[in-house]
Amino acid sequence: MRVLLTGGAGYIGSHTAVELAGAAHEVVVFDDLSATSAVAVERIRELAAADVPFVKIDVTDREAVAAAIADTGPFDAIIHLAARKAIGESVAKPLEYYFNNINSTLVMLEMLSRFDIPTFLFSGTGTVYSEQADLPFVETSRTSIDLPNPYSKSKRICEEIMRDYSLTEPDKRLIGLRYFNPIGAHPSGRIGEDPHGIPNNLMPIVARVGSGKLPQVSIFGRDYDTDDGTALRDYIHVVDLARGHLAAIEHARPGLEFFNLGTGRPSSVLELIAAFEAASGIHIPTVDAPRRPGDVQATYCLPDKAAEKLGWRAELDVVQACRDYWRWQENNPGGYDGN
Ligand code: UD1
């Protein structure tokens, strides 16, 4: 298939580009490079051993996108990953988050109709499930629009936009993916997560402590109702996640479907840190800290629908993910641009 991948130079996008190319799909990357680097595109080409075309573009700009598709198409599928994704920032800049995440999705859906593209994948989040929903989350679990931040709400709104669009275009194959917590990196150590500024997520913080850039990991809450008192998350290796996209475009059917992409095997904060220590051989000092505002005790999914309908399951475990994340971090201590 010829695939248009928006956000294809980002963390999930770069791994998805490499997996697509590895499965003999042709990929064209659209990205504004606002949260990544042109070096990521060079690394994708290196790993794909192909000249993956790249267009630097803001995908909220409808006419620019139409012109770029006219130039680089035709396409069999759009995988739309381009979005603002920092939860904390979304609270401070709600308009920026709604504008970017919703308009880009509107534009890309319009392109499906305008350019007769049959398949569309949307990158959503497991945070759309209501806090009241029972664990593990299945695709029919209650979702909410009353979510704690504009990022999650923007993703939930896009799901509803896809639902309405699907009613007008029933032959289109639309899939909403709901990601759990991506970690890890490509086993080559050439591409990985490159958070700009101070990271908020557990994995990049642990890796920075591993490399001595931060002194210790604060454990946000040891009084949760879990085996070791720390919160549970469904950490998924980014290469598994990328392969989920591949399975989704290959098995998409007319209509709209949502799929959880997670492992179904939750790890606690302490378990993730222990996995990193086992993978790297480095001791990670920790300090107990209060719960982080807005955090929930546990989120994890049942990924069986993706197994049944897409033939996909996560295969890599958290130790492997930590090993790969650490290799990426050691080989690229300053990220792509060495900062
Ligand atoms: C966050 C996002 C979520 C996103 C996910 C991507 C929020 C509210 N949610 O989820 O939308 O999909 O990242 O991976 O930000 N922790 C510590 N110490 C730290 C950092 C984190 O103990 O220094 C704990 C947190 O309290 C949490 C767990 O580690 O229990 C995971 O945190 P994090 O990696 O930030 O992910 P989420 O909060 O699950």
Report the alpha-carbon distance of residue 129 to residue 126 in Å, rounded: 6
Q: Do 268 and 226 contact (CB within 8 A), yes or no?
A: yes
Helices (H), the chain: 11-22, 38-48, 62-72, 87-92, 94-114, 150-168, 202-210, 238-251, 269-280, 304-310, 318-331
Q: How wide is the angle at C-alpha 83 spanned by C-alphas 331 and 322, nearest 5°?
A: 30
Instruction: List the one residue out of 79, 56, 111 whose CA is nearest residue 6.
Output: 79
Over pLDDT 70: what percentage of the chain? 100
User: If pLDDT is split at 50, 70 and 90, which confidence band does 196 have?
Assistant: confident
Q: In this predicted structure, what is the pLDDT of residue 155?
A: 97
The Å distance, Cα 201 to ligand 1 centre, comes to 5
pLDDT at 339 over 80: no
Ligand 1 pocket mutation, candidates 123, 201, 269, 325, criterion most atoms within 8 A of CB: 201
Pick the catalytic residue from 11, 97, 151, 235.
Answer: 151
Tell me the mean pLDDT in the region 212-224: 97
Tell me the mean pLDDT in the region 281-303: 95
pLDDT in tens, 48-71: 999 999 999 999 999 999 999 999
Q: Which atom of ligand 1 is nearest to the CA of 291?
A: 26
Q: In this predicted structure, what is the pLDDT of residue 197?
A: 81
Check pocket membership of 200 for ligand 1, CB cut-off 6 A.
Answer: yes
User: If pLDDT is split at 50, 70 and 90, which confidence band does 132 have?
Assistant: confident
Q: Which atom of ligand 1 is nearest to the CA of 231?
A: 30
**What is residue 52's three-state secondary structure?**
coil
Q: How many CB atoms lie within 10 A of CB 149?
A: 17
Tell me the mean pLDDT in the region 94-109: 98
Q: In this predicted structure, what is the pLDDT of residue 260?
A: 98
Q: In this predicted structure, what is the pLDDT of residue 287?
A: 98
Give the CA count within 13 Å in the CB-facing half-sphere of 130: 10
The backbone region for 337, taken as left when phi is positive above 0, alpha when psi lies in -120 to 50, beta otherwise, is: alpha
Check pocket membership of 183 for ligand 1, CB cut-off 6 A.
Answer: no
Report the alpha-carbon distance of residue 94 to residue 230 in Å, rounded: 30
- 97 contact partners, CB below 8 Å, separation of at least 6: 84, 89, 90, 150, 151, 154
- The two tokens of residue 74 are 């035709």
Query: 151 catalytic, yes or no?
Result: yes
Check pocket membership of 181 for ligand 1, CB cut-off 6 A.
Answer: yes
Q: In this predicted structure, what is the pLDDT of residue 295?
A: 87
pLDDT at 173 over 90: yes
Over pLDDT 90: what percentage of the chain? 93
Query: Which residue type, as a one-letter code, is found at position 212?
Result: G
The Å distance, Cα 205 to ligand 1 centre, comes to 10
Greatest C-alpha distance within the chain: 56
Ligand 1 pocket mutation, candidates 220, 230, 268, 299, criterion most atoms within 8 A of CB: 220
Write down the pTM of the prediction: 0.97
Phi then psi dihedrals of residue 256, to 5 deg: -120, 130
Report the alpha-carbon distance of residue 14 to residue 240 in Å, rounded: 13
pLDDT in tens, 222-274: 999 999 999 999 999 999 999 999 999 999 999 999 999 999 999 999 999 99
Q: How many residues does the chain have?
A: 339
